[in-house]
A and B are shown apart, each in its own frame.
Chain A
Amino acid sequence: MDESRLQKIEDYLANQLSEEEARLFELEIQNDPDLAKEVALAKQVNHHLSDTIGEDSVPDNEYTEKIREFVQSEEATKVREAIAKAGKEYAPAPKKGFWNNSLFRVAAIAVLFLTVAGVVYFGNNNTGPGLYAAYYSEKDVPAIIQRDETTDALENAVIKFQDENYQEALQEFEAYLSSNPENINPNVYVYTGLSHMNLGHEEESLMEFDNLINSDALDSSKGLWFKALALLNFGEKNKAKEVLEQLVSNTSNFNFELANELLGEL
């Protein structure tokens, strides 16, 4: 295909043809299967390069026919069953909406109460780290990656965080924070605060949560919740209590009810 033709395809896909030119070009596409294939390929390549998802089309050819046959076969059903079986044997899934289910919630609180009572009875302390473990939930850690943004670095950092590789996660989060000083997602401070906490850096951890608390983010009170949990984890129960009291001073703050419960424990 000559270059002027290819240029026209690019102009068409970039909406740079006039309305009339575009209409005529679309007529050509309809009547010329080879041109239609060229346009479809150019469009798919553009989507690939821009990391976006286009409309899907499944052509009719020998390959797709084979896939269809296989997908409908008994063999495919067996493959799916084997995968599902491995899924069931994998560690049990956390239930959806655990904390929103009042029955589970009552049961969990009862278990927590009995555990705490047992610990006290047997002469141990109702430890800060124990309360931290009971009240920390992965579900509270905010999602920070969004599609269509340059978030590769952030994505890697989050994966390292989830893999408990806190040292490397911190390096990547810090690189993100220093490369986007004007446009920081304040929720990143939850990750940096927790990473420092898990590395035993008390002062740095608390500073990160303060950054979130002092930000103008709508859910900046999340910082109070995580700061209180981190203090508990560091065994600073009195300081944790002060932070929780600050949190429960406003009913719209994050985890208001849980914070009240936790204060009760303290």
Chain B
Amino acid sequence: MNSNSSQNILANLVNGDDRTIRNTYSSVFPKVISFVKNNKGSYEDAEEIFQDALFQVITRAKIKGIEIKSSFEAYLFTVCKNLWYKELNKSKKEVRNDGVFELKASEDKTMEAILYQDRWDLFEEMLQKLSGNCAELLKDYFKKVPYSEIVKKFSYATENTAFQRVFKCKKRLTELIKNDPRYRDLV
């Protein structure tokens, strides 16, 4: 599936095409069930995550359009994974009040999830634009790979050289993000 067909699927979803929604269910939902069940969740959790993710993607596409560079299936699966990670991470302290409060909470959750995915897409795309081994270096550094290993892996002379390189790569990444027009929507 190429990016053109991804955009076609997205356009059909935005137009409310029932068949495309059903096809999306069949092609992506089984993977989401596997993923959620293997990460401490249930079938019902998977269903909620899948439906929220699909709603989120349609909403973002309707409001400002989104460009999907991978297959639509892979993209929606990534959105589902991010939503589930957020869900696993969220505080156990859930406030349950009257219906109005819950409705508001649900809207806030949708808003947060949309902003989170927008940021994720932008950051990931800008990471790919970094030159050389910057993206790999940054991920290793922030995943706390020891300096000694980073020095060896990237053939730096000293740990200080590695540190300087991390700083410059992150600075470049931040500049790329801020220079992208989508950043304005996120602040």
Spell out A's residues near B (CB within 8 Å). Answer: 3, 6-7, 10, 37, 40-42, 44-46, 48-53, 56, 58-59, 61-64, 66-68, 70-72, 76, 78-80, 82-87, 89-90, 93-94, 96, 138, 143-147, 150, 155, 158-159, 162-163
Contacts of A61 in B (CB 8 A): 184-185, 187
Contact, CB under 8 Å: A45 / B185: no
B35, CB-defined interface residue at 8 Å: yes
Partner of A93, one of B26, B43, B88, B124: B43
Q: State the CA gap A59–B29 with chains docked (Å).
A: 31
Contact, CB under 8 Å: B38 / A83: no
- A96 in contact with B174 given A7-B167, A58-B112, A79-B58 (CB within 8 Å): no
Partner of B89, one of A49, A53, A62: A53
User: Can you sample 26 A-B contacts with CB below 8 Å?
Assistant: A3-B171, A6-B171, A40-B187, A49-B170, A51-B143, A58-B112, A67-B59, A67-B111, A70-B59, A71-B110, A82-B18, A84-B51, A85-B18, A86-B18, A86-B22, A86-B24, A93-B43, A93-B47, A94-B43, A143-B37, A147-B85, A158-B34, A159-B34, A159-B35, A162-B31, A163-B30
Contacts of A163 in B (CB 8 A): 30-31, 34
Contact, CB under 8 Å: A64 / B29: no
B1, CB-defined interface residue at 8 Å: no
- A59 in contact with B59 given A6-B171, A64-B115 (CB within 8 Å): no
B150, CB-defined interface residue at 8 Å: no
Q: How far is the CB of A24 from chain B (nearest CB, A)?
A: 22
- A46 in contact with B177 given A56-B115, A64-B111, A90-B29 (CB within 8 Å): no
Contact, CB under 8 Å: B25 / A58: no
- A42 in contact with B174 given A67-B63, A158-B34 (CB within 8 Å): yes
Fill in one digit per residue for B154-175: 1 if any A CB lies within 8 Å of its CB, else 0: 0000000000000100110110
Q: State the CA gap A79–B51 with chains docked (Å).
A: 10
Fill in one digit per residue for B24-50: 1 if any A CB lies within 8 Å of its CB, else 0: 111001110111011110111001001
Contact, CB under 8 Å: A50 / B187: no
Contact, CB under 8 Å: A87 / B167: no
Q: State the CA gap A44–B127 with chains docked (Å).
A: 13
Contacts of A80 in B (CB 8 A): 51, 55
* Residue of A whose beta carbon sits closest to that of B59: A70
Contacts of B64 in A (CB 8 A): 63, 66
Contact, CB under 8 Å: A83 / B107: no
- A89 in contact with B85 given A59-B186, A61-B184, A159-B34 (CB within 8 Å): no
Q: State the CA gap A52–B123 with chains docked (Å).
A: 14
Contacts of B111 in A (CB 8 A): 58, 64, 67-68, 71
Q: How far is the CB of A57 from chain B (nearest CB, A)?
A: 8
Q: State the CA gap A155–B81 with chains docked (Å).
A: 11
Closest 10 CB pairs of A and B: A162-B34, A49-B142, A63-B185, A50-B142, A56-B112, A53-B89, A86-B21, A48-B123, A86-B22, A58-B111
Q: State the CA gap A70–B111 with chains docked (Å).
A: 11
- A83 in contact with B54 given A53-B86, A64-B111, A96-B44 (CB within 8 Å): yes
Q: State the CA gap A62–B187 with chains docked (Å).
A: 10
Contacts of A51 in B (CB 8 A): 143
* Residue of A whose beta carbon sits closest to that of B60: A67
- A90 in contact with B55 given A49-B142, A82-B16 (CB within 8 Å): no
Contacts of A42 in B (CB 8 A): 170, 174
Q: How far is the CB of A72 from chain B (nearest CB, A)?
A: 7
Contact, CB under 8 Å: B138 / A49: yes
Contact, CB under 8 Å: B116 / A56: yes
Contact, CB under 8 Å: A145 / B187: no
Q: State the CA gap A52–B89 with chains docked (Å).
A: 9
Q: How far is the CB of A202 from chain B (nearest CB, A)?
A: 26
Q: State the CA gap A188–B35 with chains docked (Å).
A: 16
